[in-house]
Structure 1
Amino acid sequence: MSKQKAKRRQAKKDTRRAMEQRKTQRQPDWPVLGLALFGMLVTAWLTLAASTTSGMPLCAEGSGCDIIQASRWSTLFGIPVALFGFLTYAAIALISFEMRPATKRWRRQWFISLVGLAVSLYLTAIGLIELQAVCFWCLISLATISAIFIWLTIKRPAAGPGQPWRDWLLNTGATTLVILAVMHLHYSGLLGPGMGREDPQLQALATHLDEEGARYYGASWCPACQEQEDLFGASSERLPFVECHPQGRSGLMASACVNAGIEQFPTWVIDGEQHEGILTPEELARLSNFDWEE
């Protein structure tokens, strides 16, 4: 009898322990939820900065934040990148709050944070390489998504992702690389309507400007210059471009730009006259006596 009672007591203890474990597993993931909510605030602020022309704290005119927000890398398929970041954090927050089994919840949290971290690192590298600028708020978002990813990696369930780790990493890594590849193709102009094909009219105008001795002064990190070149699409490489900051944003201005008296980017010099700001192809055609209609 004593052995049976002992077995029953042990069975009750095991049942109680299992219930407590299930209860613990189905509690919200508070650390990740808190970080995700903070990330939502940061990206909401960046989304607001992208939709307003007024100066915002730590994103004043001419700052790294302003340069990045005005560049073509601030949007993806016409949607602010910050909004994608907000939705990423919102998805992590929702999953963290839902009382799913720990392993299932972790799989989704970890995958989304991996994609978010990879995209954030890609855009940060673009800012440093292409624009020679960094955005304070973007760095805060990068630190937040990094903290989420590191925390989830350290706190992964003992059961793992539910499949061999090698297969899991290959699948999630491949998916992340595909997302980055699509982004890069988009920013390279290879996913646009023309898919890299030149418009004959824009090609002829760019060639005409070069042959007529016109000069287009700008800088590789200048957002307005990027907008100017976007107006010419694949023919932008034919423009008579003069790089005024060959050593980067913090470098000295090139002597050709100093001698030309360039003070603003972009600046066009056509028939000896300066024209500051972005000019449409129609305006450039008129100023350079190019028959746009023909």
Structure 2
Amino acid sequence: MKVLALVGLVEVACFSPTTVRGPTALRLRGRRRLTRGFSQIVDDVFEDETDAASWAWTRRTVGGLATLGVVETSYLTAQKVFGAGPTCAADCSSVLTGPYSSIGGVPVCALGLAAYATVVGLCCAPLLGSHLERRTRAPLVFVTAAMAAFSAWLVALLVLKLQAFCAFCFASAAMSWSNFALTQRAASGSSSSSSSSSQDAAGPALSGLVAASAMALATFYFVETGIALDEARQMVAVLSGETSLVAATKQQQDLRLAPPAVDTVSTPRTLRLARHLKLSGAKMYGAYWCSHCFAQKQAFGAEAAAELAYIECAEDGLNSQRAACQARGINGYPTWEIGGKLYPGEKSIAELEALSGLDATKPPSSPAGPGF
């Protein structure tokens, strides 16, 4: 088609209306207009085909990365909400369980799951109808821009404030940034080839960046306000003479970093097991924020749990023994050390009896009384 257009242009150039007069010149002018229009149509068709091919590749790539994001955030959401799995991972604790782990009571990982699912839906929308291909471009750019901006804030929070390493967080940020770069590249290509589609690039991207920045600032404000309120309560207690500044600060810190109190009742069986574990030198490695550690103690009951040799592994936990945990290579909580061997994961009472060599069917031995 382009060859025909070029032939028409050459023909018109050879018989320029400036050298030909009369009706012939009018016909040549008309033919030139038709040729130019025909050439423009051909160019538009080729540009549309190239644009569609570029967006099709972008949708496949972005959709694939977003699917990985759905899998990752689903796992993290299950860990956060349901405590899935027998152990709590040692990494990412400062992010997934700290004050910045939720926004308005909703876990950040759940918001990430919703965002990734939205991206997957927008990428697959043209499968439901070709008319959705162009309609979903701007929303796709908006969502990926918002995710990229929010991920940048989370990474800055990790590195500068929490000073923690979270492989899940960095992987999610890399996927978000890649998706934004891909959609922005496709949208910029559309806007350069067609002025009518310029809204596919700058507008939605800027809106997404602004929306994510506003959410990040709001989250930071409310979290920091909560911390400031705790500090204000300390000062009120000090000024009222109830306690000293050092004591108030330590008390508030202990409340935040101590494991939750066990409120279940121990049984003779769990008391016997706890004392047997203590006498045999068994240890339980855990973290104050770990739901599985709390569930393990709940299984023993309050009195029996107090008998256990508990090692706090969280770096910011109360009476932390982080160095001892690292020396033993503890990677998940709880981890039991029985007879010099490590047994990761939450265990049932029967499992712990078997691992420690306690025969539950044998009655407990009573101390020998005075002879007669």
TM > 0.5: yes
Structure 1: 5+ residue stretches without partners: 229-262, 268-294
- Pairs aligned (count): 220
Aligned to 1:203: 236
Given the alignment, which residue of 54, 57, 75 partners 1:45?
75
Q: Retained in 2: the 8 A contact 1:39–1:86?
A: yes
CA displacement, residues 64-111 of structure 1 (integer Å, 9 cap, x when unaligned): 312321201111100110000000011111111111555432221111
Paired AA for residue 44 in structure 1: S
Residue of structure 1 equivalent to 2:191: 159
Q: Match for residue 65 of structure 2? A: 35
- Give the one of 161, 169, 181 matched to 1:130: 161
One-letter code aligned to 1:211: S
Q: What residue is the counterpart of 2:212 in the other structure?
A: 176
Query: Is the Cα contact below 8 Å between 1:37 and 1:89 reproduced in 2?
Result: yes
Residue 214 (structure 1) aligns with = 247
2:178 to 140, 143, 147: 147
1:111-140 residue CA offsets vs partner (Å, 9 max, x unmatched): 111111111221222222332212111111
Query: 1: distance between equivalents of 2:52 and 2:177?
Result: 28
Question: Quick check: 1:115 aligned with 2:146?
Answer: yes
Paired residue for 2:224?
A: 188
Give, in whole Å, the separation in 1 of the partners of 2:112 and 2:94: 19
1:12-68 residue CA offsets vs partner (Å, 9 max, x unmatched): x96xx58x84986896821111111111111111111212446678x62xx331232
Contact 2:125 2:132 in 1 (8 A): no
- Give 1:71's aligned residue: 98
| Cα distance in 2 for residues equivalent to 1:174 and 1:226 | 38
Relative to structure 1, the CA distance from residue 95 to residue 56 in structure 2 (aligned partners, 3 Å threshold; closer, same or farther) is: farther
More helix by share: 2
Structure 1 letter corresponding to 2:164: A
Identity of matched residues, %: 18
* Alignment of 1:104 onto 2:135: yes
Question: Within 1, Cα distance between the matches of 2:236 and 2:113?
Answer: 39
CA contact (8 A) 2:73 2:109 kept: yes
Q: Which amino acid aligns with 1:121?
A: A
Do the aligned partners of residues 226 and 179 (structure 1) sit closer, same or farther apart at CA in structure 2, a change above 3 Å counting? farther
Output the CA distance in 1 between the equivalents of 2:84 and 2:251: 24
**Which has the larger Rg?**
2
